[in-house]
């Protein structure tokens, strides 16, 4: 971590360098005044990762310097630890108003000082990580509504490829009789159109949790396949009846404690297709019953599950149902 | 004092602080002389305000450093002087500098004690 220490007292600067160096912070630059500090900041080839400014200095004081730093785009989030005497609480308030992130008091307690610097170090690392994530997220366009999204951390939710494996293994080993049911939430189209990718994923995750609760006990595995549609595969005898699922879902989806959408005001409905099971004459690797589950959504009134069916068939490598 | 560093780091830090402490002591006489210069003019109404501001600035520096290099009492006396001058400067004019001078004399006595014992 590259640190700039600004203090008009040479001995204080040297003391800070000794303490920081002994604790592994060896890249420390010193400045003897606010003006000198500003020059060193502007001339730095590599930006500083942390600043330590004495609050009370002749000329440009630490608070003014902190304000200058905060006006520089590259330093808007960089930790600024103010150095102050214990009886300067009023200065501390002004320092925080100017954008300081923390302060240490003179005379220095080494342990306290290093705790503050380590905190600043972590803060800087977190800020860098978050900024990088934000840049990556901005660079990546929002996926179209028709695209599947992998939902993680919800019991039973897997991506489409894993769902396919799950089905193939069950068909092969005949653990229990399988059935698939597709569920479409029409309002997800408006949520997708009116929100960012993050918010859309949050809403999908909330709905996934509702579905996991609804199908609890059905040995179900589920996947979001795009176009507002979830595909669920589980024990044919334990998946609830379509009408029962539909009414329960509407109640649960409109409970703001279960599904919360901040950016788009909407109430949710649900279209639940008929349960679809493999037919006797179909081969074990034949996954057409999944397509039939999706197609039954059309009969239930879903606007566009057909396109999804074709894509799913393509990905699963099986012939479409006639 | 040396929490969180290895033995080598602790030794380096201790020796670094010892060097700074030594330089601090070497500079104490100069600080004492500067305080005495201001003490001589602080009663002069024409120079009082400037002198008291300068005393405050010197006391502030001493307050910050003295405690860290092992002179807690000196740091505390400097802090008291600094704080009193802050109150004084926020009050009416002309400045009533009597108690500030008493605090400064206590500070100078402590400097003398340190210089005589080191």
Per-residue burial over A296-320, b = 16 or more CB atoms within 10 Å of its CB, e = otherwise: bbbebebebbeebbebbbeebebee
Note whether residue B20 is domain-resident.
Answer: no
* Range A252-275 average pLDDT: 86
pLDDT 10s digits, A273-307: 999 988 877 776 678 888 899 988 877 776 655 44
Nearest by CB to B3, which of A11, A18, A110? A110
- Answer yes or no: are the C-beta atoms of B79 and A86 closer than 8 Å: yes
Mean pLDDT of A211-236: 90
Is the pLDDT reported for residue A89 higher than 70?
Answer: no
CATH of A160-316, one of 3.40.50.2300, 3.30.70.1710, 3.30.70.270, 3.40.630.30: 3.30.70.270
CATH code for the domain in which residue B53 is found: 1.20.120
Set of chain A residues whose Cβ sits within 8 Å of the Cβ of B27:
11
Give me the interface pTM, i.e. the ipTM: 0.88
Contact between residue B78 and residue B110 where contact means Cβ atoms under 8 Å apart = no
Which of residues A2 and A319 earns the better pLDDT score? A2
Q: How many CB atoms lie within 10 A of CB A59?
A: 11
* Stretch A228-239: mean pLDDT: 91
10-residue stretch averages of pLDDT, chain B, 118 residues long: 66 90 95 96 95 95 91 94 93 94 96 92
Q: Is the pLDDT of residue A320 over 50?
A: no
Which of A96-110, A126-140, A171-185, A252-266 is predicted least confidently?
A: A126-140
Q: Does B23 contact A87 at a Cβ distance shorter than 8 Å?
A: no
Return the pLDDT at A166: 72
Interface probe with B: pick from A16, A106, A116, most Cβ of B within 10 Å:
A106
Q: Where are the domains of chain A?
A: 3-139, 160-316
**Domain of B39?**
27-117
- Give the residue, A102 or A12, on which the prediction is more confident: A12
Q: A85 and B3: CB-CB below 8 Å?
A: no
**Site from A55, A85, A117, A119 to mutate, B interface, most B CB atoms within 10 angstroms:** A85
Q: Contact at 8 Å (CB) between A168 and A231? A: no
Strands A50-54 and A28-31, bridge-based pairing: unpaired
Which has more pLDDT, A214 or A305? A214
Domain count, chain B: 1
Examine domains A3-139 and A160-316 and report if their fold is the same.
no
A175 or A309: which carries more pLDDT confidence?
A175
Q: What is the pLDDT of residue A138?
A: 66
Highest mean pLDDT among A135-139, A255-259, A268-272, B34-38: B34-38
State the pLDDT at residue A312.
47
A-chain CB neighbours of B9 within 8 Å are 22-24
- Displacement of CA A255 from its chain's centroid (Å): 23
Q: Which chain A residues touch B16 with a CB distance below 8 Å?
A: 14, 18, 21-22
Q: What is the pLDDT of residue A115?
A: 87
- Residue A137 is predicted with a pLDDT of 67
B78 belongs to a structural domain: yes
Assign domain A3-139 to its CATH architecture.
3-Layer(aba) Sandwich (3.40)
Locate all alpha helices (DSSP H) within A174-304, ordered by sequence. 188-194, 197-214, 242-253, 288-300
Mutation target for B interface from A16, A18, A21: give the one with most B CBs within 10 A: A18
Query: What tens digit of pLDDT does each residue of A143-183 get?
Result: 889 888 888 678 788 777 777 767 777 776 666 788 999 99
Residue B72 falls inside a structural domain: yes
The answer to whether position B102 is within a domain reads yes
Cβ distance A250 to A182 under 8 Å?
no
- The per-residue DSSP string of A253-288 comes to HT-TTT---SSS------EEPPPB---TTS-TT--H
Give percent above pLDDT 70 in chain A.
88
């Amino acid at each position: 971590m590259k640190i700039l220490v600004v203090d008009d007292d040479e001995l204080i600067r040297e003391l800070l360098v000794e303490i920081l160096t002994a604790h592994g912070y060896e890249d420390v630059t010193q400045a003897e005044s606010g003006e000198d500090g500003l020059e060193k900041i502007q001339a730095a080839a590599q930006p500083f990762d942390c600043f330590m400014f004495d609050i009370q200095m002749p000329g440009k004081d630490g608070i003014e310097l902190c304000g200058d730093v905060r006006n520089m785009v590259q330093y808007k989030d960089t930790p600024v630890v103010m150095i102050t005497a214990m009886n300067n609480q009023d200065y501390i308030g002004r320092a925080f108003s100017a954008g300081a992130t923390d302060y240490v008091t003179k005379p220095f307690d080494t342990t306290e000082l290093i705790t503050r610097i380590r905190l600043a170090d972590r803060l800087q690392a977190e800020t860098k990580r978050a900024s990088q994530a934000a840049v990556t997220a901005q660079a990546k366009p929002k996926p179209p509504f028709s695209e599947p999204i992998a939902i993680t951390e919800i019991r039973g939710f897997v991506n489409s490829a894993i769902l396919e494996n799950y089905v193939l293994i069950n068909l092969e080993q005949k653990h229990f009789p399988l059935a698939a049911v597709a569920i479409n939430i029409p309002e997800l189209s408006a949520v997708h159109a009116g929100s960012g990718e993050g918010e859309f994923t949050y809403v999908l995750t909330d709905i996934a949790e509702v579905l996991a609760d609804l199908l609890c006990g059905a040995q179900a595995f589920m996947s979001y396949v795009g176009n507002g549609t979830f595909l669920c595969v589980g024990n044919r005898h334990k998946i609830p009846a379509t009408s029962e699922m539909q009414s329960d879902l509407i109640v649960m989806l409109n409970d703001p404690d279960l599904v919360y959408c901040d950016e788009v005001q909407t109430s949710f409905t649900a279209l639940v297709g008929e349960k679809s099971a493999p037919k006797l004459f179909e081969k074990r690797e034949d996954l057409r019953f999944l397509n039939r589950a999706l197609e039954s959504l059309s009969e239930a009134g879903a606007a566009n599950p057909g396109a999804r069916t074709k894509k799913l068939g393509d990905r699963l490598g099986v012939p479409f149902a006639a | 004092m040396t929490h969180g560093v290895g033995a080598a780091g602790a030794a380096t830090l201790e020796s670094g602080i010892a060097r700074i402490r030594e330089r601090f002591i070497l500079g104490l006489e100069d600080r004492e002389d500067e305080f005495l210069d201001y003490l001589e003019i602080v009663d002069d109404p024409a120079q009082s305000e400037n002198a008291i501001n300068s005393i405050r600035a010197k006391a502030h520096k001493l307050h910050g450093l003295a405690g860290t290099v092992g002179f807690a009492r000196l740091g505390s006396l400097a802090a008291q002087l600094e704080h009193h001058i802050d109150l004084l400067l926020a009050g009416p004019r002309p400045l009533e500098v009597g108690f500030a001078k008493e605090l400064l004399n206590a500070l100078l006595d402590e400097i003398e004690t340190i210089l005589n014992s080191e």
